[in-house]
Amino acid sequence: MKPIHIVTDKKNIYKNVIMPGDPLRAKYIAQNFLKDAKLVNDTRNMLIYSGTYKGKKVTVASSGMGIPSVGIYAYELYKFYNVKNIIRIGTSGALSKEVKINDIVIADSAYSLSTFNKILNDSNDNILYGNKKINNLLEKEALKLNLPYKRGMIYTTDVLDLYINIDKYLKKAPKDILISEMEAFGLFATSKYLNKNSSAIVTVVDSKFEKKKITAEMREKNLNDMIKLALETIIKL
């Protein structure tokens, strides 16, 4: 079998990958944070760039939205391009008063009602875990950078919770869930299947517990902080 959705030479993709969902965010990271960045894949407009950060080789690969999409791109990166570590970066909504807008959440684990893990790993587990070594490094770097963060369980949903009321589903979920997003569970399942490493960090941009609204400038700064955290961490792996 050959990769279908990523078409490039193996040498063009490095072992350490930062994975935003949005292809344009991948482009933004490459242009603003990497040195000598090269576009190495644009099949289906899912952009992948490789370059260096502080002299260390890093690839930035977009995943698209949702568990199936992140599963496809993570699988091909791990399986066909010898990627070892992936850190997902994204945005999220708060599900706990403990989490504030602008916080970065390090996902120790992801809970989901998705059948993805059952189909891929033949497992009924609906809680999957991020890599402890990567998460410990993320926390260490967050403290160095003086970034507001929380660490704990997140909820990966198949349906954007702005479209529906997910409260009835949360009643059956673990009580210590911090935020909701749409990809981490799929990434964790895929890395488990292929015996690779993954983690996820997300910036909280919305909360039903706060009236606070963030400006476009604030949002960009907050996302830049998360990007820097991911890059500072992954170059140490």
> What are the residue numbers of the active site?
206
Write down the H helix ranges in the chain: 23-33, 67-80, 116-121, 132-144, 167-170, 184-193, 216-234
Q: Do 178 and 98 touch, CB atoms closer than 8 A? A: yes
User: In Å, how far are 1, 7, 27, 48, 202 from 231, measured between CA atoms?
Assistant: 31, 24, 15, 15, 14
**Taking the CB of residue 11, how many other CB atoms lie within 10 A of it?**
9
**106/84 Cα distance (integer angstroms):** 19
DSSP β-ladder status, 85-94 and 197-207: parallel
Report the alpha-carbon distance of residue 172 to residue 182 in Å, rounded.
18
Locate 119 and state its tokens.
Answer: 């189909």
